[in-house]
């Protein structure tokens, strides 16, 4: 404001449109740049630097935030891992046949797989993969037939689901071919059975005839 002729108005700060405010209330308190020393109730000396309070507070908040996020991620990771592990164990337990002992027989399967790996350790990598796997599958079929059948059925169901969703035309062709194959196989078995029965009947008739001739 313009300088006034009255001394009491010189101590006021005025803004057009606003009431006059004492100048001493408008001035801001200076920021302390010195280190403050305080003693708490236990008699310990506390040294604080007001200039670093905002910086230290920001670091503390950031650290706490990162700690909380990391803890949540670790809890989620370990919780999810435990859940998946439990699901895997339950799924494997579903494959096991109740009448079979898993521990001694699975050792035989691992031994067969290891033997196949040792036999092909100097071969090319496809052979080193196929031969041990074949040995392990054959040993599983021999040692744990019920478990092998359960696993084979599960794998077959997965394959059929993929085939049905991705390759429906191939599934129809394969199904038709399979039906024709089993039909021909059943007919062949039936013809073989009928031929065998006819042969047995003819042989029995011939023996009966020969026995009657000998009696005469």
132 located within any domain = yes
Task: Look at the block and give the residue holding tokens 């993929």.
Answer: 162
Residue 134 and residue 107 in one domain:
yes
Nearest-CA neighbor of 18 among 40, 39, 33, 1? 1
Boundaries of domain holding 154: 99-169
121 located within any domain = yes
175 located within any domain = no
Overall domain count for the chain: 2
Nearest-CA neighbor of 140 among 115, 98, 111, 99? 111
pLDDT in tens, the chain (216 residues): 444 444 454 444 445 555 554 545 444 445 444 445 555 555 555 555 555 667 777 888 888 888 888 888 887 777 777 777 777 777 777 777 778 887 788 888 899 999 989 988 888 888 888 999 999 989 988 888 888 888 888 888 888 788 788 888 887 888 888 888 888 989 898 898 888 988 888 888 888 888 777 666
pLDDT of residue 23: 47
3-state DSSP call for residue 193? helix
104 located within any domain = yes
Calculate the CA 77 to chain-centre distance.
11
- DSSP E strand boundaries for 11-136: 12-13, 21-22, 36-39, 45-48
pLDDT of residue 16: 55
Task: Look at the block and give the residue holding tokens 């092998």.
Answer: 148
Q: Which of these three, 42, 65, 95, is where a domain ends?
A: 95
Residue 130 and residue 109 in one domain:
yes
d(CA 38, CA 47): 6
d(CA 106, CA 136): 10
Q: Is 140 exposed, middle or buried (0-12, 13-18, 19+ CB in 10 A)?
A: buried
Task: Look at the block and give the residue holding tokens 């035989």.
Answer: 108
pTM over 0.75: no
Per the structure block, which two tokens stand in for 27? 């001035």
115 located within any domain = yes
152 located within any domain = yes
109 located within any domain = yes
Residue 62 and residue 74 in one domain:
yes
């Amino acid at each position: 404001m313009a300088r006034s002729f009255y001394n009491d108005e010189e101590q006021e700060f005025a803004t057009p449109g606003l009431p006059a405010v004492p100048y001493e209330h408008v001035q801001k308190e200076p920021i302390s740049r010195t280190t403050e020393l305080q003693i708490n109730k236990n008699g310990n000396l506390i040294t604080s630097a007001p200039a670093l309070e905002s910086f230290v507070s920001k670091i503390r908040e950031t650290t706490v935030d990162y700690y909380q996020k990391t803890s949540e991620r670790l809890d989620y990771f370990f919780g999810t891992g435990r859940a998946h592990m439990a699901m895997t164990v339950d799924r494997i337990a579903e494959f096991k046949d109740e009448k079979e002992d898993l521990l001694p027989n699975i050792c035989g399967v691992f031994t067969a797989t290891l033997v196949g790996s040792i036999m092909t350790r100097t071969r090319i990598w496809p052979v080193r993969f196929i031969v041990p796997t074949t040995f392990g599958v054959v040993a599983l079929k021999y040692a744990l037939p019920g478990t092998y059948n359960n696993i084979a059925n599960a794998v077959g169901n997965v394959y059929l689901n993929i085939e049905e969703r991705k390759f429906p035309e191939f599934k129809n062709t394969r199904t038709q071919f399979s039906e024709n194959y089993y039909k021909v196989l059943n007919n062949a078995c039936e013809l073989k059975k009928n031929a065998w029965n006819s042969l047995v009947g003819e042989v029995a008739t011939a023996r009966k005839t020969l026995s009657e001739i000998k009696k005469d």
